[in-house]
Every structure is written in structure tokens, then in C-alpha cells.
Amino acid sequence: MVKDKRGEPLPGAGVYVSGYKIATVSNNDGTYTLPLKLGNYDILVQLIGYKALNKNVVIADKAVKLDLTLEESITQLAEVTIKPDPNREHYIAMFKGYFIGTTPNAEQCKLINPNVLIIDYDKEEHKLTVKTTQFLIIENKALGYRIKYLLNNFEYDSKTRIVYYEGFPYYEDLKGSARRKKIWEQKRITSYLGSPQHFFRSIYHHRATEEGFIINKLVTVSNPDKPSDSMINANIKRLTKVQNGLTRTLTFTLGDSLSYWIKKKNLPSGISILSRAPVTQDTLVHVKNQSIKSFNFTDQLYVVYTKEREDPSYANRIGLSIARPLDMPDYQISTITLQVVPVYFYENGSIYNPRSMIYSGYWGWEKIADSVPMDYLPPANLEGK
């Protein structure tokens, strides 16, 4: 049931399943029903005059009763002076690039209500933070979706170049002609194939190889060209004292100069080596229970999708592409770095804790503009072709 704080039923509330196209409306008595398979879901509720609400629910072997209590949204009007932020448009453009994306599909997306964004930029930390208490509305005319996104948090750290966002999207189909719908369907297929959603769905069913994925590892080893930190620091300290404290002529041996040791200090401590030996799904994936599987690994996963080539607009962007062997065609390549272990995932390809991984490469480039609902299914047998 959907009700208010007094326990009174609330009819007409929109009840959505985050990441899906599943939704319903509460009846006159406030009740609602959602048909869900086994899994972990976030339920979203929206009703005019009340604050948007999200609740997590796990469906196991029986029906679950989930009451949703909404809190009234009271706007207090007061005489305040609002100072316009001259940088707001710049920060909104940054947000759109890192949240919606910079892919060809992103160029056909429109953020309908940027006015609801609460933006903060920390100049000392060089970190952009964006929040909102209302649904963001994104029209994706490339894939034919209207996305309602309840954004909990968005962060972009320009020092680490890591983008993180968490929230709850709901997908609706846009209206269009039969011809337009056919174009949308083809673009949805392209967006899904090779995506993280496709990858996790395929390894759940032990079909990654058949569906075009090669899983290798990037192994980090010590850089043989970089001496120990203690040696580097000792030599920099010695040579700095020489330069600052002595005026007599000194003779240095080859390589025994301040610039030489500074260059050594700036070398990376480790270098990545690609192991071409395939990582088997038997060793990578483990069964948690009847609806959840997990994986864990050391170093980085190097995931190659062989059934699509890189988009030219990706290849031309500096700093995004992942290094590849000279004999490898321009397949889509992504890497996965673990933050929290193990990673739990479901049959539909959804991740229990999205913050448990960092994507680089092709998956790091594609954002909301290239996403499809979690209940999206490509045409039968397409994944294996």
C-alpha cells in the first residue's frame, strides 16, 4: 500500500521499478501490485505534493508485502536573495558530458529540467558534485526512451578523472512512427550488445565466449627502470644540497644529475602487462545462491568484445582508448578494476553494488545515453550470432 504519515491511503501514486520499464499506479484504496521475478529491486514512488521515495526489496521464494509511506513536500516561501552562479551553465555542461555522455547517441539526448540540479564545485578538491530531490527528465531520441532519473549523487573528480553516479532510472518508450520504432530497435540492439549488462548476463549463463567476449588480465608488475623510492629520495636530497650550498666545481658521473633522478621519481611504480591467456568463467564466476552469482579477481580484467568495432568518435578522443596488442583489430576494449570484493550480480546483468567496480575504456565512455532497461531482451538468438 502507498499511504501518508497518518496511514491514509494515497491513490494515483506512480510506482516504478528502477532500471526497468515496469510500473503501475496505486488504486483508490492505495494498493498496488508489481509482478517481479527473483532478484534485488529498487522501488520508486512519485506523487505530486509528496517527496519522491525509493525502497529496496529482495524477492526470494515468496511474495513480499511492501508498504510505502510518503512525506508531504512543503515549500516555504521567504524573501531571499538568490545570487546567480556565472559558472552554472559550464558545470551543467560538464555534468551532461559525464552523466549523459559524449557518444553519438548522447548528441540526441535532451535534459528537460536542468533547473532542478543542485550543483557544487569544490575548487580546492577539484570535484564537481550534483544532487537533486526531484526526478531528472531525459529524452533520448536516439534510442526512443524517456528516462526519469532520481539522482542520489553524482561526483566527478578531475584529479583522478573518476566519474561516479548513483540513482534510480525508469524508462518509458517515446511515441513514434513504425519506421522510427524500427530505427530505435536497431540502435537499442547496438547499445546493449557488448555493454556491461550484456557481459554480466552472458557470464551468469556461462556464455561469454559464444556471445563474443574475450576475457584476459592486465597484470601489474614492478617497473624495472625505476629504482627504490629510498634511493631516489636520497640522491635528490644530496644533489639539492650540492646545488644550494656549494659553489666549487663538481664532477658528476653519467646519470648522476638532479634532472635524471627527478625523471626516475616521475616514472610509474608499476607497469601493466597483458596476459593473453583467457580467464575461464569457471574460475571467475561463483554461485552465491539461486539468484545471485559473484566474481573476484586480482589485477584488472581486460574485456574484449569482438562482434562490434570501436565507434570512430571514441577512437578520436584522447586519453580514453585502452592499449592493445598490434595484432588485435579495433574491437571494443574495456577494463574492470575492483573496489569492493566480491562483486555480486543477477541473471539480468544488474550489479548489487555498482560502486564495487571502476570501468575504463569503452565502458567508461558509454553513459546514460547508451543504456537500455534491465528487462531489455534482444531478439532471440541474436547474442549468439
For each of the domains in the chain, give its residue range(s) and CATH number, in order of start: 2-69 (2.60.40.1120), 86-195 (no CATH), 227-266 (no CATH)
Dmax (CA) of the chain: 94
The C-alpha cell at 199 is 557481459
Share of the chain above pLDDT 70, in %: 91
State the Cα–Cα distance between residues 260 and 237, nearest whole angstrom.
Answer: 13
Answer yes or no: is pLDDT of 217 > 80. yes
282-311 confidence digits (pLDDT tens): 999 999 887 899 999 999 999 999 999 999
Average pLDDT of the residues in 353-362: 89
User: What pLDDT shows up at residue 256?
Assistant: 61
pLDDT level of residue 254 (50, 70, 90 thresholds): very low
What CA–CA distance (Å, rounded) separates 337 from 346? 19
Q: How far apart are CA 183 and CA 189, in angstroms?
A: 10
Q: How confident is the model at residue 140 (pLDDT cuts 50, 70, 90)?
A: very high
Question: Would you say residue 79 has pLDDT above 50?
Answer: no
Q: List helix spans (H) across the chain.
A: 88-99, 178-192, 196-204, 229-245, 258-266, 281-284, 312-315, 362-365
At 78 the pLDDT is: 41
Highest mean pLDDT among 45-59, 71-85, 91-105, 265-279: 91-105
| pLDDT for the residue 380 | 75
Whether the pLDDT of residue 170 is over 80: the answer is yes
And the C-alpha cell for 183? 530505427
Mean pLDDT, all residues of the chain? 87
Question: pLDDT at position 66, please?
Answer: 95
- pLDDT class for 381, splitting at 50, 70, 90? low
**E strand intervals along the chain:** 2-3, 14-17, 23-25, 39-46, 53-59, 68-69, 109-111, 118-122, 127-131, 135-140, 145-157, 162-173, 213-222, 270-275, 285-287, 292-295, 300-309, 331-338, 343-346, 357-361
Buried b (16+ CB within 10 A) or exposed e, 350-377: bbbeeebbbbbbbbbbbbbbbbbbbebe
- Look at residue 244 and tell me whether its pLDDT is greater than 70: no
pLDDT at 75: 52
pLDDT at residue 12 above 60?
Answer: yes
Give me the pLDDT at residue 384, please.
47
Q: Phi/psi of residue 202, each to 5°? A: -75, -40
Answer whether the bond into residue 342 is a cis peptide, omega within 30°: yes
Query: Is the pLDDT confidence value at 82 over 50?
Result: no
Share of the chain above pLDDT 90, in %: 59
Residue 191 has pLDDT above 90, yes or no: yes
Higher pLDDT, 195 or 59: 195
Q: What is the pLDDT of residue 272?
A: 82
List pLDDT tens digits, range 112-132: 999 999 999 999 999 999 998
Query: What average pLDDT does this structure show over 317-327?
Result: 83
The CA distance from 263 to 265, in Å, is 5
pLDDT at 81: 43
pLDDT at 232: 82
